[in-house]
């Protein structure tokens, strides 16, 4: 048993309990009702970094939620790694679909997690994966095994667009100076198939409002004679995809990078079972853009999805009303080279253009971010690959993720350094969904693997 | 000043206060949270009928909310009029659009109601109009002016489909025996343009549920690769109308009665200003089925409107989720000859047929009713017309309404008698909408006009 393994074994229950306590705080950044909880979480992170061995920790105020910064500088001549993570979580609703309360963590075993998994909102995304780094730091400092300088930047607005982090990074280039950025906020293909995320999709998130008559109307007296904002909204949204599920917004695909057949063939090698995929989601068929496989549709192709829609009477029973307004939240996942602000403008212009007479349309951009691709020949990637090889006994597979971490491309722009995405979650961990969980095995495997990354990265830099 | 006018003048404030007290009770039949209030309202109606002079009153239990029955039989050889009304109201939401709380009635003047109008949910639909009949009864009994026998049947489930009233009527044909049925639950063209509703649209109200994946999913990891129930629902709903706004459900129009050019020309004579109509609703254009005027679209043509839609994240901020389920409440207004149960089946079959692979669809019929047309050469119509002439100084215009009173066609079927719709509300009274109100002038005008109907109907029957 390696030294780190014995350390983890010795402190297992404490490592679990500390994470469980952290998961009990409902740090929902999207809902201002939880403001105090989000602020409390920042304080907890600050203390945990200090206890784990940071020389200097601070809670940096922003126009939104604070950013927790911590550092352990052992020698200015050694490489510096900046660890990024977030302590905010997605809203937990729909609550009725959770088997246990989202902020009352419980450990249960599942088919994929026979060693048990912690069920709670944020268990995997990102409190669990972020806290692996805190515990890895504790191990390295308390055992004199820290090979390089470390900086931590843990934010509280990742789930709502990281807007203030952007300002913070621009204003603190010197303080955040580093040789490589390390993030654990992604997944791997399977427990026995380690993988490193080499690509992320960009994001444009907008809210639309369609207004018809100036008040709700009786559907009998006015039905058929005035534009019904809900009917109109459904027509407008439906028209955003053609029959092949291509997005119809003019210019939307202009900058989309098309992968070569060679690259697509390489991608197709990643282990994937369409049958298991459909079975896990209980669907009889997949659905998506004509001409692309499931793995391509959710990684190298841009998409447009309605994340929420509402209007009219949604209560119990029946109300014969024509609503004055109808709303939808719509997000577009973008691929590298698509500029999120440009796409947001394209959407806004198009959506306003297709509004029929009789209604008024308002498009409000929420937030967004650029896509990102990291080269697999960088020192950081090689160090990560060797670390996985060390603890998993297998060379990880490079993989494009469909998710977005908007801030990553900004890091490269402002800090001039590459980001390595070492994720230890699984697609089945239900992040953003009811019953989110994180495998205990994955949690400890992450803590075990991270120190090797620092070791090999420092060696490679020499 | 006529005798009835002086009586109204003498009791003005009491007539208003009694209605205001009635409007304070939130008798929302669609929402079970208001069960006690609905039951309390039935009791209040029972007492008010007894106080107004009924010999016999009772609260008849049903499987749902009770039906208040009352009668005043002065002579079995005289004609009998059955008055129908309802004491339940529509849900008041969206509450934030009300200028004053829906169940705290206030009297305010408006452009159309310089004498003031009572603002409250149910003011016009139907508590206010129903209560006119109670006060007309009070006048006639206390002044020995009742010319015929009267029966009252006031239900508490009109806004949710009158299902139990149907059972009640079938089970009490003898008790409800009458020569004509009188209802005040419709409107008139304008205060100086009295009209009698000669046609009502039928209704089919359904709720649809689209289920995709078995749980909410992260829109980054799954976006573009699985059917998004909200996107699918918008496509399915959008496809229910073609580019000319004809409804695309196969067989939907098969039994629709097409009016002759002569009839359409006659209809077109009713005073109507498209400019004022658009101005009142603050819309730049009307919208509807190609080839028909606004007045035709909302009266002689069937329609399909979404009354409510919901799914995914609808809270504050942004959540990048693909919902497992999406829902909509959809109602179709039908014209005479269309059978609502048949149309409901057509909808269900069609909606299930157009569901793409990757989702499951559930269609749940809520309730419905047949359309209705009443001949203008019946004694009842003539008596009503003469009554309006007496109090308005003008012969009323026969008018088709776009609204539905599902029970009317059942009355004819089960009780073999025609229904006369003497409405005193205005389209602008915002029934089913925020700030519903009923003009004081209209309220008293109704009380004044109703006794003349009994007088002339009794005379015509001799």
Query: How many angstroms away from the CA of A407 is the closest CA of chain B?
Result: 15
Kind and range of the H or E run holding B129 = helix B127-142
Q: pLDDT value at position B56?
A: 97
The three-state DSSP-derived secondary structure of A381-404 is HHHHHHHHHHHHCCCCEEEECCCC
Q: Which of residues 200-219 of A touch B (CB under 8 A)?
A: 201, 203, 205, 207, 212-219
Please check whether residue A63 touches B, CB under 8 A: no
Q: State the average pLDDT over residues B267-294.
A: 92
Interchain pair A231, B239: CB under 8 A:
no
Interchain pair B221, A161: CB under 8 A:
no
Interchain pair A289, B224: CB under 8 A:
yes
Distance CA B342, CA A235 (A): 26
Residues of chain A contacting B427 with CB distance shorter than 8 Å: 221
Residues of chain B contacting A160 with CB distance shorter than 8 Å: 317-318
| Residue A361: strand pairing partners | A210
Give the nearest partner residue to B297 out of A213, A225, A308, using CB atoms.
Answer: A225
Distance CA A145, CA B415 (A): 93
Query: How many angstroms away from the CA of B296 is the closest CA of chain A?
Result: 8
Q: Which long-range contacts (CB under 8 A, 24 or more apart) does A247-254 make?
A: A247/A302, A247/A303, A247/A304, A247/A332, A248/A350, A249/A304, A249/A343, A249/A346, A249/A347, A249/A350, A250/A346, A250/A350, A251/A346, A252/A302, A252/A343, A252/A346, A253/A302
Q: Judge contact between B64 and B80, C-beta under 8 A.
A: no
Residue B247's SS3 state is strand
Asked whether the predicted pLDDT for residue B79 surpasses 90, the reply is: yes
Q: pLDDT value at position A401?
A: 86
Q: pLDDT value at position A290?
A: 96
Residues of chain B contacting A215 with CB distance shorter than 8 Å: 97, 281, 430, 433-435
Q: pLDDT value at position A291?
A: 95
Asked whether the predicted pLDDT for residue B102 surpasses 90, the reply is: yes
Domains and CATH numbers, chain B: 4-200+371-461 (3.40.630.10), 202-246+302-368 (3.30.70.360)
Asked whether the predicted pLDDT for residue B449 surpasses 90, the reply is: yes
Q: pLDDT value at position A403?
A: 84
Q: Which residues, other chains included, contact A313 with Cβ-Cβ below 8 Å and sequence gap of 6+? A: A319, A321, A323, B91, B93, B307, B308, B329
Q: pLDDT value at position B36?
A: 98
Query: How many angstroms away from the CA of B358 is the closest CA of chain A?
Result: 5
Please check whether residue B274 touches A, CB under 8 A: no
Residue B408's SS3 state is helix
Q: pLDDT value at position B82?
A: 98
Q: pLDDT value at position A267?
A: 80
Please check whether residue B376 touches A, CB under 8 A: no
Query: How many angstroms away from the CA of A27 is the closest CA of chain B?
Result: 14
Asked whether the predicted pLDDT for residue B238 surpasses 90, the reply is: yes
Residues of chain A contacting B207 with CB distance shorter than 8 Å: 318
Residues of chain A contacting B256 with CB distance shorter than 8 Å: none
Q: State the average pLDDT over residues B156-172.
A: 93
Q: pLDDT value at position A336?
A: 85
Asked whether the predicted pLDDT for residue B15 surpasses 80, the reply is: yes
In terms of Cα–Cα distance, which of A350, A336, A450 is closest to A4? A450
Q: pLDDT value at position A456?
A: 98
Please check whether residue A307 touches B, CB under 8 A: yes
Kind and range of the H or E run holding B260 = none
Residue B296's SS3 state is helix
Asked whether the predicted pLDDT for residue B406 surpasses 80, the reply is: no
Q: pLDDT value at position A24?
A: 98
pLDDT digits (tens, 9 = 90+) for B337-385: 899 999 999 999 999 999 999 999 999 999 888 888 888 889 999 999 9
| Residue A373: strand pairing partners | A199
Which pTM was predicted?
A: 0.80
Interchain pair A224, B289: CB under 8 A:
yes
Interface mutation vs chain A, best among B220, B243, B423, most A CBs within 10 Å: B220
Residues of chain A contacting B237 with CB distance shorter than 8 Å: 231, 234, 238
Residues of chain B contacting A212 with CB distance shorter than 8 Å: 283
Q: B416 falls in which pLDDT band (50, 70, 90)?
A: very high
Q: Which residues, other chains included, contact B389 with Cβ-Cβ below 8 Å and sequence gap of 6+? A: B395, B396
Q: B213 falls in which pLDDT band (50, 70, 90)?
A: very high
Q: pLDDT value at position B423?
A: 96
Enumerate residue ranges in chain A where pLDDT < 50: none
Q: pLDDT value at position A257?
A: 83
Q: State the average pLDDT over residues B410-437.
A: 93
């Amino acid at each position: 048993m390696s030294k780190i393994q014995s350390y983890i074994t010795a402190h297992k229950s404490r490592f679990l309990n500390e994470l469980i306590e952290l998961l009990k705080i409902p740090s929902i950044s999207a809902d201002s009702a939880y403001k105090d909880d989000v602020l409390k979480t920042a304080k907890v992170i600050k203390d945990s970094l200090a206890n784990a061995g940071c020389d200097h920790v601070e809670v940096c105020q922003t126009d939104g939620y604070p950013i927790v910064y911590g550092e352990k500088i052992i020698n200015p001549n050694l490489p510096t790694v900046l660890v990024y993570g977030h302590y905010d979580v997605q809203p937990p609703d729909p609550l009725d679909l959770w088997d246990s309360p989202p902020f009352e963590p419980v450990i249960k075993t599942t088919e994929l997690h026979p060693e048990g998994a912690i069920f709670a909102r944020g268990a995997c995304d990102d409190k669990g994966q972020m806290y692996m780094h805190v515990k890895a730091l504790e191990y390295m400092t308390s055992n004199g095994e820290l090979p390089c300088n470390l900086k931590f930047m843990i934010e509280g607005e990742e789930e709502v667009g990281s807007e203030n982090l952007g300002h913070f990074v621009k204003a603190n280039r010197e303080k955040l100076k580093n040789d490589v950025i390390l993030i654990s906020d992604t997944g791997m293909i399977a427990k026995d198939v380690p993988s490193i995320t080499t690509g992320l999709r960009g994001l444009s998130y907008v809210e639309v409002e369609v207004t018809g008559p100036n008040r709700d109307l009786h559907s009998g007296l006015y039905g058929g004679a005035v534009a019904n904002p809900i009917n109109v909204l459904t027509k407008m949204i439906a028209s955003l995809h053609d029959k092949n599920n291509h997005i119809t917004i003019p210019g939307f695909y202009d900058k989309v990078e098309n992968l070569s057949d060679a690259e697509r063939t390489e991608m197709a090698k990643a282990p994937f079972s369409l049958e298991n995929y459909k079975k896990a989601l209980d669907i009889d068929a997949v659905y998506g853009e004509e001409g692309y496989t499931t793995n391509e549709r959710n990684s190298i192709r841009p998409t447009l999805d309605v994340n929420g829609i509402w209007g009219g009477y949604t209560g119990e029973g029946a109300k014969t009303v024509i609503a004055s307004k109808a709303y939808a939240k719509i997000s577009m996942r973008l691929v590298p080279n698509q500029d999120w602000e440009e796409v947001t403008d394209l959407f806004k212009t198009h959506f306003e253009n297709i509004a029929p007479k009789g209604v008024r349309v308002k498009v409000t951009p929420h937030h967004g971010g650029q896509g990102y691709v990291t080269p697999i020949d960088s020192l950081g990637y090689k160090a990560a690959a060797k670390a996985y090889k060390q603890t998993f006994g297998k060379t990880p597979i490079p993989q494009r993720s469909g998710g977005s971490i908007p801030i990553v491309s900004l890091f490269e722009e402002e800090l001039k350094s590459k980001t390595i995405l070492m994720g230890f979650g699984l697609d089945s961990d239900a992040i953003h969904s009811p019953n989110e969980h994180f495998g205990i095995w994955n949690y400890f495997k992450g803590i075990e693997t991270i120190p090797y990354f620092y070791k090999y990265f420092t060696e490679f830099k020499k």
